[in-house]
């Protein structure tokens, strides 16, 4: 079975790579780093090396053994397009995702230019299959440039995670984007999210007919502030036709 998760917008996580390095202020209080570093130096623990970047080839085939279709967040504990991950290893991850087409894979990155370049090299004038969703993280207006890279990426389904949302993103171009997630930061050093920042994104999603998912307000714990925005939950997903894989459904 895939790793259990409390992330509201996915069903499971798959981490063929763990560990990362900080590149932007959205990384300052990374939950994955905080979790991993608790176990640094513990012999035999999966995170014995803390949050150091680590390839885990023994996990590459895991989704092929998960027969029940599910949404799978890829590398919740890393970034698949980190510059130190060999292209050959990224190829192996994509080989698995392409083969396990009864699942929906959600690939999220802050390294948007490297992502766009990889997809262009892999798919040429084509696109990634529709069961492989490609997304970028955007925490504020400064980093909204990642949306430009996403819009030109060779992806069939594109999404944006505005989490942790640390400021207004202003007017954004959502053309070609299928889904937006908004969430506040959680953890002992969490920075507050203003309501108007979330509403600003929601209203632009409405105008652009982009599915909108409000994940959390955040706080000391992820559930501290609840999930209501303007008095209701927002749990929209993009409407993507799903392939029927008879063997996986057995």
The ranges assigned to domains in the chain are: 12-249
Structural tokens at position 127 = 């696109």
Determine the Cα angle at 130 with ends 243 and 108, to 5°.
130
> How far apart are the C-alpha atoms of 214 and 192, rounded to whole Å?
15
Strands (E), 62-156: 71-74, 104-109, 132-137
Tokens of 182: 């908004």
The DSSP line for 77-89 is TS-TT-TTS-HHH
pTM metric for this prediction: 0.94
| Per-residue buried b or exposed e for 95-109, using 16+ beta carbons within 10 Å of the residue's own CB | ebbeebbbbbbbbbb
pLDDT tens-digit profile, the chain (250 residues): 457 788 999 999 999 999 999 999 999 999 999 999 999 999 999 999 999 999 999 999 999 999 999 999 999 999 999 999 999 999 999 999 999 999 999 999 999 999 999 999 999 999 999 999 999 999 999 999 999 999 999 999 999 999 999 999 999 999 999 999 999 999 999 999 999 999 999 999 999 999 999 999 999 988 889 999 999 999 999 998 665 443 333 3
Q: Which fold has domain 12-249?
A: TIM Barrel (3.20.20)
Are 232 and 198 in contact by the 8 Å Cβ rule? The answer is: no
């Amino acid at each position: 079975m895939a790793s259990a998760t409390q992330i509201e917008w996915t069903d499971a996580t798959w981490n063929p790579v763990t560990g990362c390095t900080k590149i932007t202020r959205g990384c300052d209080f990374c939950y994955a780093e905080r979790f991993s570093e608790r176990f640094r130096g513990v012999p035999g623990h999966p995170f014995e090396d803390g949050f150091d970047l680590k390839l885990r080839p023994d996990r590459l085939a895991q989704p092929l053994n998960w027969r029940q279709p599910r949404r799978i967040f890829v590398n919740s504990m890393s970034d698949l397009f980190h510059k130190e991950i060999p292209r050959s290893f990224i190829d192996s991850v994509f080989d698995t995702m392409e083969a396990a087409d009864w699942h929906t894979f959600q690939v999220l990155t802050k390294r948007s230019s490297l992502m766009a370049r990889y997809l262009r090299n892999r798919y040429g004038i084509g696109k990634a299959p529709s069961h492989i969703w490609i997304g970028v993280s955007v925490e504020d207006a400064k980093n909204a440039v990642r949306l430009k890279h996403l819009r030109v990426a060779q992806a069939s389904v594109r999404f944006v995670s505005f989490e942790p949302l640390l400021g207004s993103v202003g007017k954004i171009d959502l053309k070609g984007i299928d889904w937006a997630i908004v969430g506040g930061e959680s953890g002992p050093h969490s920075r507050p999210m203003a309501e108007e920042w979330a509403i600003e994104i929601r209203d632009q999603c409405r105008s652009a007919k982009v599915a909108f998912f409000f994940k959390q307000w955040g706080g000391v714990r992820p559930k501290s502030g609840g999930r209501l925005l303007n008095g209701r939950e927002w749990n929209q997903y993009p409407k993507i036709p799903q392939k029927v894989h008879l063997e996986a459904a057995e």
